[in-house]
Amino acid sequence: MFSLKLKFKLSMPFHRVLVLLFFIFSCLYFVTIQTKHHHGYPEHEQFHHLVSHVSVPPSPAPEAAAVAGPRYSVFNVLDFGATGDGVADDTQAFKLTWDTACELESAVLLVPDGYSFMLQSTIFAGPCKTVGLVFQIDGTIMPPNGPDSWPRNTSKRQWLVFYRVNGMLMQGGGLVDGKGEKWWNLPCKPHKGINGTTMPGPCDSPVAIRFFMSSNLTVKGLKIKNSPQFHFRFDACHGVRVESLTIKTPAQSPNTDGIHIENTNNVQIYNSFISNGDDCVSIGAGCYDVDITNITCGPSHGISIGSLGVNHSRACVSNITVSESVIQHSDNGVRIKTWQGGSGCVSKVEFRNISMEAVRNPIIIDQYYCLTKNCSNQTSAVVINDISYVNIKGSYDVRSPPMSFACSDSTPCINLTLAQVELQPATRGHVVANPYCWNAHGTILAQTIPPVYCLEETNVTIDNTNLCGQVLKQIIM
């Protein structure tokens, strides 16, 4: 039979023989390719068995997708085993993706749109080889849901930490959901006790996103909500730009500061909307060269410097500007708060072009800050010097005076400057209240509404350079 078939084929025209051979080899190639693609792990499962080691890339790693523009390689967390269903633990997949991206000169860690990723408390550690690492959040990231879901033997004070990272951009149109409701309802929280008191019990709550000992950072365009505690915290960082953020948390959520900075310098916070249960922006000890512009803040506790000097500590803050912003329906407007018994200084601060809408304490200096209302008088205080308030206008909540300068008995506030300040009662029919001053010295450059007759002329001088400048350098170096 074989000889007959062969004879038949050889008797065929030559062009038909060529067509028949081409068809046979094409079928064999297709079968080979299909067999290759159906053996081994599926695409999203082949990395579940890998274990993360900080700054050590997985082997083998998925190939990166190229993007337009500079030579960036894109690493999608799904390709490293992330599930993205909001239930499964995707922490290891994120760590593997980070470790791989960290080893390249230019890389993007992609959190894709349309997925929700649950992550345990983790640290994304540098330094990286990447010159411009991009953490692109287009999907949703969330932590375990509440204290009871938090793993034992894991710190409850922080969730996502970026440590010793240089030149990173975190951006995207996605969402970071802090799942903070169960944390806010711990018995220890201030709003749970009688008259604002706290109850006994565990109280640690995680900061959502913390940058520590990092530099040249940009955070842009993200939405973040319902953090258990602070939403963003920058500790010991240099060169921070925060832009176009939306931060939303209920007004009664305790200690949910929007952006907190500590021992951090060269900071720009621009064009953001923040509504929360504490300060929109809080500036802690060791900060200088901070520019805050075009912030819509409230309901909240306002924009604050402090609190400073707790437990007799030394704290210095200098060269701060807050401008072109709106503060609305908040417990405070622009505030400086210090504890009695502290030392150091706050100097060269300018609050300029700010609109107030139904705000309690639109302008306030409080050097008697105390959480328990049982703090004893102390003889030392953080020095407050060279603070200006220019073009601050709007309405104030009549439960508090429009301006309050409560300065230390032992150390007066000096070189306070006011110009174009106009604050009217938010409720019709109320008489404009008088400002409050205690040991406050300064100058009125233009008549204010209401008039600040209680402000004393400045007749005290302080060597601010020795007091603040040297201390700031010691903190940052």
Residues annotated as catalytic are 301
Dist CA 464 CA 413 (whole Å): 13
Q: Is the peptide bond before 450 cis (omega within 30 degrees of 0)?
A: yes
Q: What are phi and psi of 465, to 5 degrees?
A: -65, -50
Question: For residue 467, what are the contacts with CB-CB under 8 A and spacing of at least 6?
Answer: 316, 344, 345, 383
Q: Retrieve residue 438's tokens.
A: 């205690």
Question: For 114-231, where are the alpha helices, taking DSSP H only?
Answer: 181-184
Q: Are 188 and 147 in contact (CB under 8 A)?
A: no
Task: Using alpha carbons, list the distances in angstroms from residue 294 to 101, 222, 245.
Answer: 34, 16, 11
The DSSP bridge pattern shows strands 383-396 and 413-425 to be: parallel
**Residue 230 one-letter amino acid:** F
The SS3 call for residue 201 is coil
Closest CA to 331 of 151, 198, 441, 190: 190
Dist CA 190 CA 162 (whole Å): 29
Burial of residue 178 (CB within 10 Å: 0-12, 13-18, 19+) is buried
Burial of residue 146 (CB within 10 Å: 0-12, 13-18, 19+) is middle
**Residue 172 one-letter amino acid:** G
The SS3 call for residue 99 is helix
Burial of residue 95 (CB within 10 Å: 0-12, 13-18, 19+) is buried
Q: Which 8-state DSSP code applies to residue 333?
A: S
HSE toward the beta carbon, residue 421, CA cutoff 13 A: 23
